[in-house]
Amino acid sequence: MKSCIMATLAAIFLPVSAALANDTPLPQPLTLPFALSLADEAHPELEQYRARLEAAEAYGEEVNALDDFKIGLEAQLRLIEPSHKAQDDTRNDSRIKLKLQKKLYDFGRTEAARHAAESAHLGRQWDYMDARQKRRLEIMENFFKVILADLQYLRDNEVMTMAFLRWKKLQDTQETGKVSDIDLLEKENIFRREFKKRTLTENQQRISRSRLAISLNRPEDLPSQLEPPVLGSLKRELGEIEDLTRQALNNNPHLKALRARVAAAQQDVEYARAGGRPTIRGEVEAPAYNKVTGSRDPLAAAVILEVPLSSGSAVDAGVARKQAVLRERRAQLLHAEQDVRQAVLELWLELKSLKVHMDEMNALADYRELYLDRSRALYELEVKSDLGDAESRIVDVQLQRAQTEFDMAMAWGRLDALTGKLIAVDQQVSRGEGE
């Protein structure tokens, strides 16, 4: 039954890798659903957890083999000095022996080791689940940072362009003598400052794309174009804090991994306690001797009871050490539960604040759109207008609104991860109207 459960869990936690190989070029433009579809592909960080999981599985098989049948062959080349009473005075007493052994019962020691290995394996499975969630969050965050870097570049480029035009205009009018050198240098200084700022933003475009490519395990395939996602998570309703906290405490994969380690530590204590208990094993021997005597049988079978009479303080010391490990893991679990409880509260409050901030951004965007329309109209009428400033401000609002939307999407993603839900693409991305 337990093997069936383990197989089912393995099928859940170890999905088949996507069909695309790591050398397959990324599509242009790159979409968030496609990027998230690569989350379970081979990646150095994920491979570490896979290796730990496989090691735990191998250790479980090793423990299960403790009471397997063991077959061995023992051969001895012996030279003896026969007794003067021996009828056979041959000095060659070589022998070969085929032995079959099996541990029959050890009063709970092997069973405790098996339960400890199963719990440790389960903990590694939950660790792997936690790693898969973190991979999705990392990809989402890096995807959003690329879009934000592009928007920031548009804003800074617009501001730099306006600064350059104002400086150039002053240069043209300086010939009339109506512009002082200090005013001209002031405009040049503003332009140089904005040019430096735009250069840094341009560098950030490359940096953010490199981080995204690395998180997708394609470090040499930097995506040039990204399609801005329509985020379905923005329309989700926020539940009550009590319900979310309960879900997180019950379903958080990191907490489940720690609980499995506590269970493994408890079984390790039982294993240590059983160190001084008897062992019963069965043994069958089929020897062959070069020198045959009446006391040597061609076949022997026995049930052997081994009782340790004294082990000094080794058992007590081993139990004390395992109990200390158990106390440490219980403390780790309690500390992690407190962290999860606090993280849920902070994300819940963050989402409520972001909802208010989103309404503010929408209102500001409407205002900036109308202001830009008025500036365009004044410009077309050849009336003094701040069209350039209005255009840079509208890009700035777009940047702020995108930042708020992405912050909200990330907060929902982290809340899903805390409550034990594997981040789904359809929860983060929805199709636009008319598609």
Amino acid 381: pLDDT: 44
The pTM of this model reads 0.80
Query: SS3 of 353, please?
Result: helix
- Please check whether residue 379 is in contact with residue 287, taking contact to mean a CB–CB distance below 8 angstroms: no
Q: What is Dmax (Cα atoms) for the chain?
A: 137
The vertex-368 CA angle with 362 and 369, nearest 5°, equals 90
Which pLDDT does position 367 carry in this prediction?
56
Quote the CA–CA distance of 385 and 383 in Å, as a whole number. 6
Q: What per-residue confidence (pLDDT) applies to 159?
A: 86
Where the chain has pLDDT below 50, the residues are 1-2, 5, 8-9, 12, 15-21, 378-385, 387, 431-435
Residue 297 DSSP code: -
Q: So where are the chain's domains? A: 25-68+104-428
Architecture of the domain made up of 25-68+104-428: Up-down Bundle (1.20)
Predicted local confidence at residue 325, as pLDDT: 96
Which two three-digit tokens encode residue 240?
């009550």
